[in-house]
Structure 1
Amino acid sequence: MAASVDYRSSREAREHFKEMLDAADGGRPATIARGKRRVAAVDADRLVHFLIKVHPSGAVAVAENDGWSVFIPGLPVAADGITLDEAVEEMVGALRDYAEDWVDRLHAAPNHADNWGLVQIVGLASDEQLRGWLLA
């Protein structure tokens, strides 16, 4: 069995779709060439687990007079709540909104383009995983 599965075209990948998914499910690299670029099929649960593990959120929680604020330095995303749990819940929602905006338009902005990894985490993680990631 080869260490990776590589298809030279989308047509070839379609012909071997089950094998490509089996490789991804098994943790093996599976790629499809599209011109000069490659696209990878990966196990989403493994990917989000890895991304959360190697990319800490860096979230900061600050107790204020009447509640809590949560923000991630360098990101235009913040949330407030009466309790820390409420602020974190709001932050999860704010991150999901940011990810949607990134896909719609921010991906092309120079000061947002490098947030691709964050968008992957937000798009693939459950709310529970995001809460844990923010509080780690």
Structure 2
Amino acid sequence: MVASVAYHSAREAREHFKEMLDAADGGRPATVARGARRVAAVDADRLVHFLMSVRPSGAVAVAENDGWSVFIPGLPVAADGATLDEAVEELVEALRDYAEDWADRLHAAPNHADNWGLVQIVGLASDEQLRDWLLA
């Protein structure tokens, strides 16, 4: 079995698409060159698990008089709820909105550009995975 697969063009990758997906599914590096850049195909579940393990959410939950507030320091996302579960659910929605905004325009802003990993987590994780990550 080959340790990795690398294609030098999108055309070559299309011709070997099954092999590329099999490599990614097996956890092996699978890349496609596009000019001077390379893109990688990876197993999404493995990627989100890895990213969540190396980038803790850092979420902070604060009990207030009539409920809870949850936020992630350094990010423009926060949520409130009558219960902690409601606040976390709202934060999951806020993170999904942030990821959309990041893809649309924030990726080019210097103070948001480095949030690529967070956007991958949000885009690939289920709501349940995001809740667990926020509460860890």
Shared fold, TM over 0.5: yes
- RMSD, aligned CA: 0.5
Aligned equivalents of 2:101 and 2:78: distance in 1? 15
Q: What TM-score results when the alignment is normalised by the length of structure 1?
A: 0.99
Q: Deviations over 1:89-121 (max 9, x none)?
A: 000000000000000010000000000000000
Aligned equivalents of 2:129 and 2:52: distance in 1? 8
Aligned equivalents of 1:19 and 1:122: distance in 2? 28
**Residue in 2 aligned with 1:72?**
72
Q: Deviations over 1:16-51 (max 9, x none)?
A: 000000000101000000111100000001111111
User: What does 1:87-106 align with in structure 2 at a 5 Å threshold?
Assistant: 87-106=87-106
Structure 1 gaps of 5+ residues are none
Aligned equivalents of 2:129 and 2:54: distance in 1? 14
3-state SS of the aligned residue for 2:79?
Answer: strand
Aligned equivalents of 2:55 and 2:15: distance in 1? 35
Partner amino acid, structure 1, of 2:114: D
Number of equivalent positions: 136
Structure 2 gaps of 5+ residues are none
Aligned equivalents of 1:38 and 1:103: distance in 2? 19
Aligned equivalents of 2:58 and 2:33: distance in 1? 35
> Which runs of 4 or more aligned residues in structure 1 lie more than 3 Å from their structure 2 counterparts after TM superposition?
none
Q: What TM-score results when the alignment is normalised by the length of structure 2?
A: 0.99
Percent identity over paired residues? 90
Q: Could you tell me how far 1:2 is from its partner in structure 2?
A: 1.9
3-state SS of the aligned residue for 1:48?
Answer: helix
